[in-house]
Amino acid sequence: MTKNYQMYIAGAFCDAGDGQRFDSVNPATEEVWASFPEATAKDVDRAVKAAHQAFTEGPWSRTSARERGRALKRIAHELEKVGPELSVAETTDTGKLLRETRWQAGNLAEIYDYYGGLADKVEGSLPPVGPNQPLSMIVREPLGVVGAIVPWNSQLHLAAFKIAPALAAGNTIVLKPSEEAAAAIVEFARVMHAAGLPEGVFNVVTGGGNPCGQTLVSHPLVRRVSFTGGVETARKVISASVENIAMLSLELGGKSPVVVYDDADMDNVVNGVTSAIFAASGQSCAAGSRLLLQDGVYDDVIDHLVVRAGDIVVGDPMADDTQMGPLATRRQRDLIERLLTESVDAGAKVLSGGGRAGRDKGWFFEPTIVACDGQDYPMVRNELFGPVLSVLRFRDEEEAIRLARDSDYAFAGGVFSRDFGKAYRTARAIPAGRFWINTYRVTNYAMPFGGSGNSGYGREGGIEAIHDYTQTKAIFADLSGAPVADPFVMR
């Protein structure tokens, strides 16, 4: 039975103005399981205007920083109640392992609690001035309406790093989830409703890139756009945001390198690389999809990884013993197959996997390891967003860094070595917003993340994220009591 969801605008759940809807398919079964409103331009306009009114005239405009912090902590409390429900919705919609979505749902409460505690700690400053100069103050103020767009992978988690700091800073939000998987975000709107946020502070619109996304990022009342997704869509977002001169941050994809030196601990390497590329079926912007192995350890690491990849249990994402679920979309599977075929035809060698996992239904793909004798293969240059690992060989530290840097992406990376000095030099030399030494994929909501180049710009996470949702204002106050000098009399 198909579940019919609604959008959330101005404190109420609603359908699209023209009644149009679109379906979502369970990637593990290839069956339609949910339906969502296809927002019109008028629907998006209504949501943005509701957010704008809440920011300028509604109760939120008069809410103190401490009260905003309490609201975020109420959200955290509500999340603790419904975490299991959110995780089931996300797994059904995306194929992400239930074990992982359960953990992420639990971690969500911590993120909102963290930013709730920071809400009243956004401070200004008083620059030093001379004895006869006006008092000079720098204050931080919220921007206004934030248009946030999140992808289907880890959507609740990624959305939290936009919603929480934006609300803590005093902004209001219109959030658009991916049309590929919107269920968890719409379910989350119920959490926000239960937390008692004023009408219009938080809104969710569902639909495709046009008109829904296009209208949102170009709306004249949207002051900041926060986008997470792919490079091609990001180019459209940049173009559309020119209409309203909105501030913009982009958290995009990656082709992250993992460098393994001869002196690395083998168990750490195998576990770290497995986590880097096969966790979440490789559907992560931080996935370590380029493995660079030094000559002396190349064969040994390959042998261990091939065995490990062959043992991975691929199957039902709802089952606790499953280690890797399906890809989220048929389109992603088709892209992987095309780029992999082109790379093999050009000389790349498949060492493990390479095809669809043997199941009757679902967009499953095998854990795949491919040896590449250079970086010009399509699968090495392009983000596949799946469980496919490109393996390259290097001689020394200089070559490892050169290979790692040779990419249009710069989101994340990793290095394994017992020589901390060498590992640290490597971490500093490779462009990335996040880098791991002798581990991979561990995270902390107090740490920033983001990229450069085709991986985007701007940072999310940590206390600095609140500052990114504010702007500074300089205030000068003459406290001397003396009359204002005649501007035409030079002294």
Check if the beta carbon of residue 459 is closer than 8 Å to that of residue 160: no
Read off the DSSP letter of residue 133: S
What is the number of residues in the chain? 491
The Cα–Cα gap between 384 and 163 comes to 28
According to the model, what pLDDT value does residue 359 have?
A: 80
Average pLDDT, the chain: 96
Tally of CB atoms within 10 A around 373: 12
Q: Please give the single-letter amino acid code of residue 325.
A: G
Check if the beta carbon of residue 218 is closer than 8 Å to that of residue 140: no
Q: Is 460 a catalytic residue?
A: no
99 backbone φψ class: left, alpha, beta (φ>0; ψ -120 to 50) = alpha
* H or E element, residue 131: none
Q: Exactly one of 38, 78, 180, 251 is catalytic; which is it?
A: 251
* H or E element, residue 106: helix 98-118
Tally of CB atoms within 10 A around 393: 20
Q: Is the pLDDT of residue 267 over 90?
A: yes
Owner of token pair 């890139």: 209
Q: How many CA atoms lie less than 13 Å away from 426 in the CB half-sphere?
A: 31
Calculated CA dihedral for residues 413, 416, 419, 420, nearest 10 degrees: 40
Read off the DSSP letter of residue 43: H
Q: Is the pLDDT of residue 239 over 90?
A: yes
According to the model, what pLDDT value does residue 481 have?
A: 86
Burial category of 1 from C-beta neighbours within 10 Å (exposed 0-12, middle 13-18, buried 19 and up): exposed
According to the model, what pLDDT value does residue 258 have?
A: 98
**First-to-last CA distance in the chain?**
82
Check if the beta carbon of residue 201 is closer than 8 Å to that of residue 167: yes
The Cα–Cα gap between 119 and 123 comes to 10
Nearest to 397 by CA among 428, 373, 376: 428
Superfamily of domain 257-437 in CATH is Aldehyde Dehydrogenase; Chain A, domain 2 (3.40.309.10)
According to the model, what pLDDT value does residue 147 have?
A: 98
Q: Domain coordinates of the chain in residue numbers?
A: 3-252+455-475, 257-437
Nearest to 219 by CA among 185, 242, 186: 242
Nearest to 235 by CA among 220, 222, 248: 248
SS3 content of the chain, % helix, strand, coil (to 5): 40, 20, 40
Asked whether this chain's domains 3-252+455-475 and 257-437 adopt the same fold, the reply is no
The Cα–Cα gap between 203 and 311 comes to 44
Rounded to whole angstroms, what are the CA distances from 24 to 278, 334, 388, 445, 472? 25, 18, 25, 30, 42
Calculated CA dihedral for residues 79, 200, 161, 319, nearest 10 degrees: 40
Q: Please give the single-letter amino acid code of residue 79.
A: L
Which residues on neighbouring strands pair with residue 389, listed in sequence order? 369
The Cα–Cα gap between 320 and 468 comes to 39
The Cα–Cα gap between 160 and 170 comes to 15
The reported pTM is: 0.95
SS3 state of residue 116: helix
Tally of CB atoms within 10 A around 423: 22
Check if the beta carbon of residue 216 is closer than 8 Å to that of residue 205: yes
Q: Is the pLDDT of residue 485 over 90?
A: no
Mean pLDDT of 384-409: 98
Higher pLDDT: 481 or 292? It is 292
pLDDT-derived band at 348, boundaries 50, 70, 90:
very high
Tally of CB atoms within 10 A around 395: 10
Superfamily of domain 3-252+455-475 in CATH is Aldehyde Dehydrogenase; Chain A, domain 1 (3.40.605.10)
Nearest to 8 by CA among 42, 60, 46, 34: 46
Q: Is the pLDDT of residue 491 over 80?
A: no
Q: Is the pLDDT of residue 278 over 90?
A: yes
Mean pLDDT of 389-413: 98
Mean pLDDT of 357-376: 94
According to the model, what pLDDT value does residue 131 have?
A: 82
* Residues in contact with 171: Cβ distance below 8 Å, sequence separation at least 6, in sequence order: 55, 142, 143, 144, 145, 146, 224, 469
Calculated CA dihedral for residues 70, 75, 77, 79, nearest 10 degrees: -170
pLDDT digits (tens, 9 = 90+) for 101-155: 999 988 999 999 999 999 999 999 999 888 888 999 999 999 999 999 999 998 9
Check if the beta carbon of residue 414 is closer than 8 Å to that of residue 256: yes
pLDDT digits (tens, 9 = 90+) for 415-465: 999 999 999 999 999 999 999 999 999 999 999 999 999 999 999 999 999
Per the structure block, which two tokens stand in for 109? 């409460």
The Cα–Cα gap between 12 and 190 comes to 10
pLDDT-derived band at 2, boundaries 50, 70, 90:
very high
- Least trusted range by pLDDT, from 35-39, 125-129, 197-201, 414-418: 125-129
The Cα–Cα gap between 409 and 405 comes to 9
